[in-house]
Chains A and B, each alone.
Chain A
Amino acid sequence: MTADAQHPPAGANSASTRTLLRVVILCLIAAAAIASRLFSVIRFESIIHEFDPWFNFRATKYLVANGFYKFWDWFDDRTWHPLGRVTGGTLYPGLMVTSGVIYHALQALTVPVDIRNICVLLAPAFSGLTAYAAYLLTNEMTTSPSAGLLAAVFMGIAPGYISRSVAGSYDNEAIAIFLLVFTFYLWIKALKLGSMLWGALCALFYGYMVASWGGYAFITCLLPLHAFVLICMGRYSTRLYVSYTTWYALGTLASMQIPFLVGFIQYVRSAVSGRQFQTFLATAVVGTFGIGLIGLVTLTSLGYIAPWGGRFYSLWDTNYAKIHIPIIASVSEHQPPAWPAFFFDLNMLIWLFPAGIYLCYQDLRDEHVFIIVYGLFGSYFAGVMVRLMLTLTPIVCVASAIAVSHLLDTYMSTKSPNPDEVQRAAEATAKKVAKSTGLRGSEKPTVGIFSLIPKTGVVASLTVYLLMFVSHCTWVTSNAYSSPSVVLSSRLPDGSQHIIDDYREAYQWLRQNTKEDAKIMSWWDYGYQIGGMADRPTLVDNNTWNNTHIATVGKAMSSREEVSYPIMRQHEVDYILVVFGGLLGYSGDDINKFLWMVRIAEGIWPDEVKERDFFTPRGEYRVDGEATDTMKNSLMYKMSYYNYHAMFPAGQAADRVRGVRLPDQGPVLNTIEEAFTSENWIIRIYKVKDLDNVGRDHAAATAFERGQKKKKATKKRGARVLRVE
């Protein structure tokens, strides 16, 4: 693709032909970016995938149905049941507003498209824009004609970005990465031109980004850091001052001492003579930095400036979350990635990335410093947390595009340099190096390739790599990142596809067979999906803003029935939903997540829930006959395995996930009754019983109904206490 761009046919090498080629190539890239994200829509259907997008989808539907002002003041009483959630103030509205605007624009153009389809296809559409933004950003970095196009291709199909932007993943990242790259482009542009207008545009897009994704903190850290590094390198310029302060004043309106100070000092330098300037500089710099530092430390320790949130803090102290906040550590995205993840997500870009960074050192202009700073930051954070691979991907694409285009520019020029001239030029540089005292790395020697064999060899191998990159990306996207978690698919022996649709079966049952306001208790993972698909109020959901409430659910799930029942009564729970994969071998079920429930509950009630009690004396986590009593009596265990043994002939009951044989005697439920179990037993829904009519406790009532009364009525009176009332 890019090879064509470099060498238009002879005679047609005019400016207009190049522009045409560029436009065509960019259009093709956008088409490829969109097309490679449609695997899941074509294979399954056009639905919203994971957990979080279901809430975004629900909020978007509310926005479209009720208008913007109502959306802004939306108090949602169907989540976090007794508490509710002030939704308008606790979400990033950028995504919903964007798709709402698109919806209304299409309506105005008399193209009535369902809001669901807009939500599903928003991420692919924006990925095309991201590719274009990467093109613009890279063109600011280098003069090479191919670098921008290469970066656009990489950005368009790199799996690290596709993983968060396939059709149907209607998440904040869908538009945030475009905004991230475009904000950086505007920043570089503002910095180069020193123009207020570009700085203001940068601030506006930054504001849009703030409204869209929590990752805006990345920009907030990165741009000041870039400015700071530039100042430390002695590259302060008035352009930097203008662009940075404009961005900051419009973007955040807060302290901006550092550029202020430096600007002032520069002014003074032009005013006074050298020696006086030295003393002045030393006093001013030391004084201001000292005051600033002391002020920051005292304010933080006095509590005026909030210390970092736990999520950010866990980026620095990587063990922090595991010890103090189990709910952060319990999310699989917050784990550090292994090496293969980098190769898997970025393929050959990961080894071109350091080369690109190195090339940035060669002519170190202001914008190259930005690439280096971003590269360092991005790689560190991606090394700490899997999901931050997403913010690393743009810079990897840009840097490796610079590296590849550098190679192509060197090896693909058809004219060989004249040996004599090269000799002379080399001597000249040698002399210059001897004379000048600059960095040796910043001196560029004249290079030239003389014979045709290395040229064709290098270009051919690069082409092979590029082709392999494309096929790798397609393969990864198709196999790893295009499966909706709502629908599970498996292959039958004859190769045909078998769809397991238990989730929607169960949610649909809830939607049609329960009261409009029946409260559903489940672990928080399924909160958004229940709200979105079953349209029923939930106790907790994926927005984990209230840890205690989640711990309450965790306690109800991990305690004995006698303890859980009052908790559920107090929270007006009507149904409980558990996910059980034992029959099918679906490993993401609630028994495997159970220990996290225990840990989170233990954080709040260390006396009542103890993680140790769920392990056998030898420290094993077992669910079979050897399981501990606490485990066997916990509500979660009972709900998962209730009646399960009846599916199998005697002695054959087996759990396919844990790979163990279960005892023949299943658990007995007293306070709840089975309401629904899906086809493959993945979702089990239980109804919470009402209080007993004659005032017995539930255990006695069910025992009586099973006929477990004693044969001979005992005459003896039991130990009774005095009736008080």
Chain B
Amino acid sequence: AANWDQVLQNIYQYYMKETPQRTKLIDAFLFFLAVVGALQFLYCILAGNYPFNAFLSGFCATVGQFVLTVSLRIQTTEANKSDFPAVSPERAFADFVVCSLILHFFCVNFIN
């Protein structure tokens, strides 16, 4: 048990110390998305899924946006620079915008 405490504490400290401010902002957004998604799911469990399309598109919007934001976070992190020789942070942001637009178009189209 003590071992687990230590592990979690280590992770927390590492995160607080090593993460730049911009990435923390992204993480806050991710946390918000996760909360919204969880709330939607909870509501679906409690109230039933009658307009199933609406539930799917709302839930998928959060999940998809979450995933895209994680991708942005990965591409803008300094440590992953070597993995993406072709992608500058500006390029990553532009990609993020385009993908989000496509995602939202699909979701708005799907919600009817």
A interface residues (Cβ-Cβ under 8 A, vs B): 193-197, 199-200, 203-204, 237-239, 241-242, 245-246, 248-250, 253, 256, 263, 268, 270-273, 276, 279-280
Q: Mark out the residues of chain B between 1 and 51 whose CB falls within 8 Å of any chain A CB in the assembled complex.
A: 3, 6-7, 10-11, 14-15
A174 to B39, CA, bound (A): 45
Q: Are A196 and B6 in contact (CB under 8 A)?
A: no
A331 to B80, CA, bound (A): 53
> Which one of A195, A237, A241, A279 contacts B86 once the chains associate, using CB atoms below 8 Å?
A195
Q: Are B95 and A272 in contact (CB under 8 A)?
A: no
Q: What are 6 A-B residue pairs whose CB atoms fall within 8 Å in the complex?
A: A196-B99, A200-B98, A241-B70, A249-B63, A250-B99, A272-B11
Q: Are A197 and B67 in contact (CB under 8 A)?
A: no
CB distance from A614 to the nearest CB of B (A): 48
A residues near B10, Cβ cutoff 8 Å = 271-273, 276
- List 10 other contacts, CB 8 Å, given A238-B83, A253-B64, A273-B10: A193-B84, A195-B84, A195-B95, A196-B75, A196-B92, A200-B98, A245-B70, A253-B106, A276-B7, A280-B7
A residues near B63, Cβ cutoff 8 Å = 249, 253
A196-B95 contact given A271-B11, A271-B15, CB 8 Å threshold: yes
B residues near A271, Cβ cutoff 8 Å = 10-11, 14-15
Q: Are A279 and B67 in contact (CB under 8 A)?
A: no
CB distance from B93 to the nearest CB of A (A): 10
A residues near B102, Cβ cutoff 8 Å = 200, 203-204, 250
B residues near A250, Cβ cutoff 8 Å = 64, 99, 102-103, 106
A residues near B99, Cβ cutoff 8 Å = 196-197, 199-200, 246, 250
Q: Are A238 and B74 in contact (CB under 8 A)?
A: yes
Task: State the main secondary structure of chain B at its contact with A.
Answer: helix
Q: Are B74 and A242 in contact (CB under 8 A)?
A: yes
Q: Are B68 and A193 in contact (CB under 8 A)?
A: no
CB distance from B79 to the nearest CB of A (A): 7
Interface centre among A196, A239, A248, A273 (most CB of B within 10 A): A196
Q: Are A256 and B14 in contact (CB under 8 A)?
A: no
A532 to B64, CA, bound (A): 43
B interface residues (Cβ-Cβ under 8 A, vs A): 3, 6-7, 10-11, 14-15, 56, 60, 63-64, 67-68, 70-72, 74-75, 79-80, 83-84, 86-87, 91-92, 94-96, 98-99, 102-103, 106
A194-B67 contact given A276-B3, A276-B6, CB 8 Å threshold: no
CB distance from B26 to the nearest CB of A (A): 14
CB distance from A496 to the nearest CB of B (A): 58
B residues near A270, Cβ cutoff 8 Å = 79
The residue of chain B having its C-beta at the shortest distance from the C-beta of A253 within the complex is B60
B residues near A200, Cβ cutoff 8 Å = 95, 98-99, 102
CB distance from A235 to the nearest CB of B (A): 12
Q: What 8 pairs between A and B have smallest CB-CB spacing?
A: A253-B60, A196-B95, A249-B64, A249-B67, A242-B71, A271-B14, A245-B67, A197-B95
A residues near B68, Cβ cutoff 8 Å = 196, 245-246, 249
CB distance from B74 to the nearest CB of A (A): 5
The residue of chain B having its C-beta at the shortest distance from the C-beta of A193 within the complex is B86
A263 to B83, CA, bound (A): 14
CB distance from B98 to the nearest CB of A (A): 6
